[in-house]
Structure 1
């Protein structure tokens, strides 16, 4: 999993919690550019020297089976196709990261790992957090989709009874986990009945 410098670091925290809650092992790369929105949006810092403590505070739980790699470490496991992974999630994904992955620049470990994920025909999910979008970005996303990547904009739905920021964040995180086949209970699924989510929520609070 890669975290880039776009706004939306709470989405990353929610996805990490979901992966770890499901017992998944996680290789994490936090770009240097991601540290500013991380500080601005959560008040937290990220330091490789004490990443266990920083990530634990970021996600609000134990880090579980996780390994953190430096963004400029091209000897890292995820930089090689022989390193076994189920796939990769970039959340949030900047348009710069999208461009770098689409053009095969591999300028940092996140882009290199994404390139490896595509060439090995593994699942790549890009949670793009930007609006509006330029034509060139739309074309790059279309190209990546054509290569098998899943472009999943951070677009929360409201039909699941979401009415606060945490619920809307969890909705997007849940959609990410759905794509990679990781079970979760982050949002109430549509049942073909209007108002079902609110009714269920009211019953739970009774």
Structure 2
């Protein structure tokens, strides 16, 4: 076998993380921190609408020309808005690539681009509709379409309530196309005592769907523990 046909064991295969305009930017931040903590490479796509949501929810203006410093500030922010809640260094972002939402010629827009799959966190109803109908109106939707056609894992973390009939039908369409529909529905059995715990539960379930190891929440083990996470944890 020639060298040209041998697989490259060091080939970069990122998870593409798409952030749409739905409320819930702390979910995206927690998923990104979880991926980086697990040593995963990340390609990031932030939609134009999500920049407005991010600015409203965090006060951070996400800019193409300064995306790395803006991302670092965002990931360091706690779900309660407290700055510096998480330690994020430049080294932590070493294997993150950012693609502008309007760049339809970006690497992940092609099925030949090596990627493990895509996580859309959060997914707005407009994003759900665009992906279900195959509109590809921006890079986020295009990458989602590529992910489906290449039979890669697509996790759609829809964040809306209540859900209309058309959106429910579109979510069924995504499920039938092979996507994992994962509503941003936090649970309370893990002993949540802080808003960050609720955010991390949803982010942890997204990473579970992607089969990425993490320690973001306490898993159910078939025993009633009662009380808070701190009370249940002897350490």
Q: How many angstroms apart in 2 are the aligned matches of 1:177 and 1:112?
A: 22
Q: Normalization by structure 2: what TM-score?
A: 0.84
> Residue 182 of structure 2: which of 141, 152, 157 is its match?
152
Match of 1:118 in 2: 148
Structure with the greater alpha carbon radius of gyration: 2
Q: Does 1:135 align with 2:151?
A: no
Q: Superposition RMSD on alpha carbons, in Å?
A: 1.3
Specify the alignment match of 1:94 in structure 2. Answer: 124
**1:90 match: secondary structure:** strand
Higher mean displacement: 34-43 or 77-86: 34-43
Whole-Å separation in 1 of the counterparts to 2:53 and 2:140: 17
Q: Deviation per CA, 1:135-188, whole angstroms, max 9, x where unpaired?
A: 110000001101110010000000000121100000000000000010000000
Q: Which residue of 1 aligns with 2:94?
A: 64
Q: Indicate the residue corresponding to 1:202 in structure 2.
A: 231
Q: Counterparts of 2:180 and 2:72 in 1: how far apart (Å)?
A: 28
Relative to the length of structure 1, the TM-score reads 0.96
**Structure 1 gaps, min length 5:** none
Instruction: Give the superposition deviation at 1:40.
Output: 1.2
What does 1:155-194 align with in structure 2 at a 5 Å threshold? 155-194=185-224
CA distance in 1, matches of 2:56, 2:63: 15
- The aligned residue for residue 4 of structure 2 is none
Equivalent-residue separation in structure 1 for 2:65 and 2:45 (angstroms): 14
Q: Residues 203 and 111 of structure 1: is their aligned pair in 2 closer, same or farther, counting only changes over 3 Å?
A: closer
In structure 2, what is the Cα distance between the partners aligned to 1:141 and 1:154? 14
Change (3 A) 1:179 1:197: farther
Deviation >4 Å, runs of 4+: 203-206
